Amino acid sequence: MNTRQVIDESVGPYSLSATFNHDSSCFSVGLETGFCVFNANPCELKVSRGKVVQCLNLKLLPLTWDHLFLSDFNAGIGVVEMLGQSNYLAIVGGGRNPKFPQNKLIIWDDAKQKAAITLEFRTSVLGVRLSKSRIVVALLNSIHKLSVFETSDNPLGLACLGQKVLAFPGRSPGQVQLIELETGNISIIPAHSSALRAMALSPDGEVLATASETGTLIRVFSAANCTKLAELRRGVDHAVIFSLSFSPSNILLAVTSDKSTLHVFDVPHPTHVGRPSQSPASATEEGSNQKWGILSKLPLMPRVFSDVYSFSSAHFEMGDEAIPGSPSAPALGSSLGRPPKGVIGWQDDQTILVIGSGREGRWEKFILRDGEDGRRYCMRDGWKRYLGG
């Protein structure tokens, strides 16, 4: 007998995806009825396309008709990726009533309110990365640039596009393929023994962080020579990693998981190697490893006692909703039938934003502060439901 409660479709808009742009100054949201773009901090609606605004609580949003314009989308958008702060966006149909076939990628010119480029593929588009000179498209088993690169199953559309390198899953689970964009040289990093769950490239393109489906360890690699720089422990029990993101300075890494916890780590950087006074790794060993006190110093103890842990953590709101009407397979832009949660964007080295999709799409702001005891703390500084309500 099916005892699950019927989802009430009349209760406001539903977000299928939420993604920050390259500098986290804005984030875009795919909806069952179009898409929206928000300023990231403060969280304010900037652009809405489709029958979305009528569902919003306008009293909470400082809107003017100068920056709000309605288009006739009124259909599902599962992926929205912004090109910087320009008027160009990459969009893919999604949800129960997709606006476009899910094997088509539309480069949308929002100033002209029309498609500038349409690219069609044999299978569904699962992820997109944009720069001023490149479009990278992730399908289930391949990455498309000017060339096509085969991958292991990549249902989350994982790919990282920097100015110099492109990183994406390799042909075997747990591997990373790293492509030098100028030369086309390919390197293989055996990052994990199980399939990749999350990846992030530092803003300067020098450092790559990866996490697997196991979710206990995050590994950090040099993009220049593929050497492992660090191994960071999120915890000892299995978790689904939602997001990895480097700070603007490239030396802090934020991680979210289905434990509803945001972790912040110090990470080493290739330019700091051999300069202990400037290397966050040394601070990490003295600070975060004290999680286990004297136990971390004893010989023959299990490695879990001596691993590098986050220097601070905080709770973020995750929710437990599933995408309405989703099939048994993962929905576009989500994992395991869930809308994306815990997506991280850094404003500066002290300010972290976390956004999530779903019926109650949330925006949360966290601040890193120094405590009187000399430790660093991550504290929630504000939150709102960006779709109103």
d(CA 158, CA 350): 27
Q: pLDDT digit string (tens) for 182-204?
A: 999 999 999 999 999 999 999 99
Count, residues in the chain = 389
Is the pLDDT at 2 greater than 90? The verdict is: no
What percent of the chain has a predicted confidence (pLDDT) above 90? Answer: 66
Question: Which spans in 22-171 are helix H?
Answer: none
Please state whether 336 falls in left (phi above 0), alpha (psi between -120 and 50) or beta: left
The reported pLDDT for the residue numbered 49 is 86
pLDDT of 100 over the 60 cut:
yes
pLDDT of residue 182: 92
Angle at CA of residue 216, ends 211 and 222, nearest 5°: 40
5 or 33: which carries more pLDDT confidence?
33
Report the pLDDT averaged over residues 163-170: 96
pLDDT at site 1:
39
pLDDT in tens, 257-311: 999 999 999 999 887 654 333 344 444 444 444 454 444 454 554 555 457 899 9
Tokens matching residue 275: 């300069």
Give kind and range of the element (H or E) at residue 285.
helix 280-287
Which stretch of 64-78, 342-356, 373-387 has the lowest confidence by average pLDDT? 64-78
* Amino acid, single-letter form, for residue 356: G
Distance CA 77, CA 339 (A): 13
- The region of weakest confidence among 26-30, 91-95, 318-322, 351-355 is 318-322
Residue 3 has a pLDDT of 41
Q: What is the pLDDT of residue 291?
A: 57
Average pLDDT of span 7-36: 83
Tokens at 319, concatenated: 């929710």
**13 has a pLDDT exceeding 80:** no
Supply the pTM of this predicted model: 0.85
- Mean pLDDT, residues 117-135: 94
Residue 43, exposed/middle/buried by CB under 10 A (0-12, 13-18, 19+)?
Answer: buried
Tokens in use for 33?
A: 């009825």
Name every residue whose Cβ is closer than 8 Å to that of residue 66 and which is 6 or more positions away in sequence: none
Give residue 164's pLDDT: 94
Q: Residue 264: how many CB atoms within 10 A of its CB?
A: 21
pLDDT at 233 over 50: yes
CA distance 40 to 138: 26
Q: What is the pLDDT of residues 318-342, one digit of tens each?
A: 876 654 444 433 444 444 457 899 9
Q: Which of 179, 299, 305, 203 is nearest to 251 (CA)?
A: 203
Mean pLDDT of 125-136: 94
The average confidence (pLDDT) of the chain is 83
- Residue 375 pairs with which residues in a beta bridge? none
